[in-house]
Structure 1
Amino acid sequence: MHENMLDLRDAIDANIVEGPRMSCGSYALITGVGGTAGRLIADEGVTGYYMPVNSRDGIVREIRRQIKHGADWIKVHVTGIVPRQAHKGELCVWTLEELQVICDTAHELHTPVMGHCRGAEATRRAAIAGFDLIFHATAIDDTALKEIVDRKIPIAPALTFQANMVDFGHKIGTAPELMKIFESEITDSIETMTEAHKAGVPLLCGSEAGFSLVPYGDWHYREMEVFVKYFGLTPLEAISCATRNGAIALKMEGKVGVIAPGYQADIICVTGQVDQDLSLLGDTDNITTVMIGGVEKNLAPLPERNNIPGWRLASIGQTRLTRAVALGEKQEPEAPNIEELH
């Protein structure tokens, strides 16, 4: 099911349906450890968007299969969590040699590799192995940072989830101790992300969208606010991370992300001074025009969305954190608890 996005991307490109430019991965590669979901992930076969691979041949076979079916990127969960671990945070669950096999196989087929990395050793190995984009890169040390800086590997911190929990978690019933844990991931990253930016490492605006804390369509501007508040970027620098640097994720560097001769006209027009107030981008009423490739898009309001049956809330809150809920404009119905479901 996770590969349906490849079909959606192709349908958008063929003008069958309207949508944004998309550059897609397929199933995220994990080892038998199970990524960040541990024992919830089956030892073999697909679970959610994960695909376990447990040998060199398995790695090569799955990467080639994904590229055959149209994947633009190969994604790897370089870190994971195991029960009763002595190590704080996520563990690096791949050897350097395995990560090099991933990069060699994908790069031979002209396909870049991205990695979910939390922790110094995982980030260091991913950089040395040849990863093209690193997500998070939190809890890293000077050695890992140097490997990134030396290679100018782009980083997508994707801290909107954490920022929303810190600022608005109380509005959806998130436990205070959980809010404190996720706040530390942001504050502990300030020094390294600031240094990386100053050293010329491209920062990309990831959204972490899909969780109940970051429902699709509400928070795509939010990462820019995080960059300004915590990492010291100016609003225009943060916008550049979402536009010029966003072209890296689309594999369209030099083609989109900048308003200049020779670039495709992907443009939004916004009411107000966004170079002074990035929150203006969060209110769709302020967005007056959207163009993709010079073609203006229909901005007619979409029908109001309700909670999807079975929406996963886990322990992070009692309901979805839409922007309207965060601003106090709307009260979302609470999700039923387990007792109510039975």
Structure 2
Amino acid sequence: MVLSKNTIYEPLQMFGIVATVFGATGFLGRYVVQQLAKMGSQVLVPFRGCEDSHRHLKLMGDLGQIVPMNYNPRDVNSIKTAVAKSNVVINLIGREYETRNYGFEEVNHQMAEQLAMISKEHGGIVRFIQVSALGASASSPSRLLRAKAAGEESVLKEFPEATIMRPATLIGTEDRILNRWAMYAKNWGFLPLFGGGSTKFQPVYVVDVAAAIVNSLKDDGTSMGKTYELGGPDIYTVHDLAEMMFETIREYPRYVNLPFPIAKAMASPREMLLNKVPFPLPTPSIFNLDQIKALTVDNLVSENALSFADLEIKPHKLKGYPTEFLVCYRKGGPSFGSTVSEKMGSADVAPRF
């Protein structure tokens, strides 16, 4: 039987959402789970780590509302079990660096393709949301973004009604950019700027991206089969964002400009040794070769792309509450007076976990 988009969406209105969120234990995942639980949905959380990896998520819902499920992303039967009772699948799986066991292609492309294929075969999955990345393109200098683009293509081939979300660099309490910069600046007294920090991008508050994902489930099915580019309201250069970070942590800004060729050379040893040594290598932080390559081109929302406005969301400006977490890097810790005043000055304060 062939179903129209409106017909496909009816079960969500009649019976509510039962969502399986792959990658829920990650940065964006905790905010997506929180917002799904807030609207009364049941959330299944597949995890492959230890029991502690999902513990913080269970507090976001009532008893039995958040259901952790141990699974293996390389085991088809394990995935089928995780989606067996769901009508929504959200794929947040992704990794910004490679390990000896998991490469960019498998994590960002092959796993997405497999989830879409299994969800389509399931028959009861009415919505599939694939979270990709802004700048995903087959011609990107970044292997991660090329793998993300391939993942989008495969997902739409297997599940044409899927919704693709392309968030820009995520900013928030657990982010992997401002936290790393602040820690590096505190430890070493300066921050390296690759290519002079002139690359332009549109960092976005993580809570806004989670809200966009959930809002796409609340519509009448009009977001199905569409791609949304989720960038923040303001365009920054890397240097501009670093200045904001230094201002918030109340440190004098000190930079070392590193041309891209030198930065790539400094980050290359890990990539060359990754599969040649019999032990795991440290997780890359500032000097991540693939991220350095991605910074060689600007990463902005396309002019005619669907965005937050099409999902009825007004994204937060970064200066203020979204970057308030950086006060913990100030000398002596956060100032109580400034922290309280910043909170009281925010008209829309998101929950903290």
TM-score greater than 0.5 by the shorter chain: no
Structure with the bigger percentage of helix: 2
Using structure 1 for the length normalisation, give the TM-score. Answer: 0.37
TM-score (normalizing by structure 2): 0.36
